[in-house]
Amino acid sequence: MGTGAQASLDGAQRMPCQSLDLRGTACPVNFIRTRLALETIDPGAWLQVDLDAGEPERLVGDGLRQAGHQVEITALEDGAVRLLVCRHGG
């Protein structure tokens, strides 16, 4: 299973059950808030997280992948990105 950007595949199955807007939130607070939100959703469910592009995108995305979650990234306007995160586990 890939962990890269696959937003064009099975888009209907990637409906987030929760979303966070963490643009302007400093690292590592944005990562911590994302991890806490993931704990509130079921394994296999999707979380939408909007972040600033650059370091926040890399740190949060890489940390979530290392924890075993699937992460898809889409660029937004104004220097932001949207992460769709599928919680792993079961």
- Contact present, 10 and 61 (Cβ < 8 Å): no
Q: Taking residues 49-63, report their average pLDDT.
A: 97
Burial of 66-77, coded b for 16+ CB within 10 Å and e otherwise, reads: eeebbbbbeeee
Q: Taking residues 7-12, report their average pLDDT.
A: 44
- pLDDT exceeds cutoff 60 at 1: no
Angle 79-32-9 from CA coordinates, rounded to 5°: 55
Element at 25 (helix H, strand E): none
- Give pLDDT, residue 19: 97
Domain boundaries, the chain: 15-47
CA distance 65 to 85: 9
Residue 84: name the closest of 61, 52, 53, 62 by CA. 61
Higher pLDDT, 58 or 4: 58
For the segment 16-30, what is each residue's pLDDT rounded down to a tens digit? Answer: 999 999 999 999 999
- Give pLDDT, residue 35: 97
